[in-house]
Amino acid sequence: MKYLDVEIRPMLDSDLPQVMEIENLCFLHPYKEKDILYELHENPVSTVLVIEYTAKSFGLKQIVGFVDYWITFDSGTICQIAVHPDIQREGVGSELMREVLNDARAKKVNTLTLEVRASNEKAINFYKKHGFYVVVTKPHYYDNGEDALYMMTEVNKNG
């Protein structure tokens, strides 16, 4: 992008207001600030990254997405991945997903998993585009009784 710098970096405490805005816009039952701060500071297996755009000529910065994922030994879980609704389908989520997959490969992770609402076709298609496939349906997984699809991808196929 000619006029924008794009950076994926670890989340900072000062990013919390922008991350919470995205959280509240993207999720039916959003995390609370305390939940994100727990992931950021207390969960020893969690990594929280943000993707930030900076307008080169003005120095204005805006967080446009984030991902929270866990790596435990040779497996990982994507807890959340979100992009501001105003710029979804512009490749931001794919940039975040590539970062997670590259980190997982570097850490010798074999599989990544996630749960997604069975009705969230946009997210399901996004995950399939990145190599995830449905393993099983978890009935009545969410608070409202909706099923979840448990999806997985193989990161290092040879272990």
pLDDT one-digit tens code per residue, 60-96: 888 999 999 999 989 999 999 999 999 888 889 999 9
Over the stretch 88-114, which tens digit does the pLDDT of each residue have? 888 899 999 999 999 999 999 999 999
Q: Which residues, 6 or more positions from 92, have their beta carbon under 8 angstroms from its beta carbon?
A: 51, 64, 65, 83, 84
Model confidence, pTM: 0.91
Determine the Cα–Cα distance for residues 68 and 58; give it in Å rounded to an integer. Answer: 29
- As assigned by CATH, the class of the 4-154 domain is alpha beta
Q: In what order do the strands lie in the sheet with 133-138?
A: 4-10, 46-55, 61-72, 75-83, 111-117, 148-154, 133-138
Measured distance CA(137)–CA(150) in Å, rounded: 6
- Name the residue ranges covered by the structural domains of the chain: 4-154
